Each structure stands twice: as structure tokens, then as C-alpha cells.
């Protein structure tokens, strides 16, 4: 899905940077799951966020390698940006299989693909679930 970012906006000039790149590149499978916001404030999770699941409730959370409630384990990649107000819950879509653009993954604050969970790096855990991370080479750019 294309995203547009306004970079200049005057009474007679409007410049928009358009990014039409994809996160999910093919052979993808998806499933739905629930995210419940109990953080105390509105949460926005970006498309590409890697997600974990709380073992006791089955609810999603952004993956955090330091967690011990089960959300330290990878379950899928969030397919769309979602905003959930405090106390609300929302069905969201996860990609659980197929090719995914590696540079589009969104991590929680501390994680990256080399982060270790239960003795394995995240990239191996993700690959083991059937997600093929693909490095992309962007050949275009925005104008001045």
C-alpha cells in the first residue's frame, strides 16, 4: 500500500513523498488474532511490527525479548498499521508465512534480528516459522 508524506505545504505548493513499497512480497499466509490495549494510553502499532502472544490470555503483544509471559516468542508480522485506544481490543491480521521485506520489519525498542530468545536468534526463529526475510535494494528516491 502506498504511503504519502507531505514534505511541503504552502498556499500554492504541495510536495508529497510517495512510497509504494510492499512489506509482504509473495506466497504469504495470514491469520487473525486479538490485541487488547491495557497500557493506559492509546497505542499505534505500525505495519511490519513483529508480534508475540501472551500464553495465558492468547492476546497479542509486540514481541519483547525480555518478557516472560510468552510474548517473547514470535508469532507473526502485523500486516497493517492499527491504533487502539486504552481499554479497547481489536482484531488484527498477522502474516505467518511467505516472503517479507526484511528492512520493513518494526521491532520493539530493544530488539533486532540478532536478538536472542531461548538461545536462538530472532532471524532463525522467524525463518523457522516459514517466513523468508528478503533484503531489498531500493533503486529510486524522493526528490529534493
Partner 1 sequence: MSIAVQDARALLTKGLVAVYKEMPKTTSFLRSFFTVKESMTEKVSIEVRRGSEKVAVDVTRYDDGNLNIVSKSTEKLIKPPMYDEYIIANDHELYQVAVGAIQTGQGETYFKQLIDGLAEDMSMSVDKIYRAMEKQAADVLETGVVSLTNNANIDYGRKAASLVAYGAARDFSIATVNPKEVFLTALKFIREKGKAQGSVYNAILGGEVLSALFSNPLFQAEGDLKDWSLDSIREPQRNSVGGTLHGQISVGSYKVNLWTYPEVYDLAGAQVPYINEKKMIIIPETTNFVMAFSAVPQLIENGGVIPQKGAILMTEYFDMKKTAHEMHAKSCPIAIPVAVDQIHTTTVLN
Contact residues: partner 1, CB under 8 A: 4, 7-8, 10-22, 25, 134-144
* Residue (3 or 86) nearer to partner 1, CB: 3
Q: How far is the CB of 101 from partner 1 (least distance, A)?
A: 8
Q: Please identify, using beta-carbon distances, which residue of 34 and 136 lies nearer to partner 1.
A: 136
| Min CB(87)–partner 1 separation in Å | 37
What is the smallest separation between the CB atom of 2 and partner 1, expressed in angstroms? 8
Long-range contacts of 64-73 (CB under 8 A, 24+ apart): 64/108, 64/110, 64/111, 65/108, 65/110, 65/111, 65/115, 65/116, 65/117, 65/122, 66/110, 72/117, 72/118, 73/117, 73/118, 73/125
Amino acid at each position: 500500500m502506498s504511503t504519502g508524506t507531505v514534505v511541503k505545504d504552502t498556499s500554492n505548493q504541495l510536495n508529497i513523498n510517495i512510497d509504494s513499497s510492499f512489506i509482504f512480497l509473495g506466497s504469504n499466509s495470514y491469520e487473525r488474532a486479538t490485541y487488547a490495549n491495557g497500557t493506559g494510553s492509546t497505542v499505534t502499532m505500525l505495519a511490519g511490527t513483529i508480534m508475540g502472544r501472551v500464553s495465558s490470555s492468547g492476546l497479542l503483544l509486540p514481541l519483547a525479548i525480555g518478557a516472560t509471559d510468552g510474548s517473547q516468542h514470535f508469532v507473526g508480522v502485523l500486516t497493517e498499521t492499527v491504533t487502539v485506544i486504552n481499554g479497547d481490543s481489536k482484531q488484527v491480521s498477522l502474516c505467518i508465512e511467505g516472503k517479507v521485506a526484511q528492512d520493513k520489519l518494526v521491532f520493539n525498542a530493544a530488539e533486532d534480528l540478532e536478538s536472542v530468545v531461548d538461545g536462538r536468534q530472532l532471524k532463525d526463529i522467524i525463518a523457522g516459522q516459514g517466513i523468508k526475510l528478503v533484503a531489498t535494494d531500493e533503486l529510486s528516491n524522493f526528490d529534493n
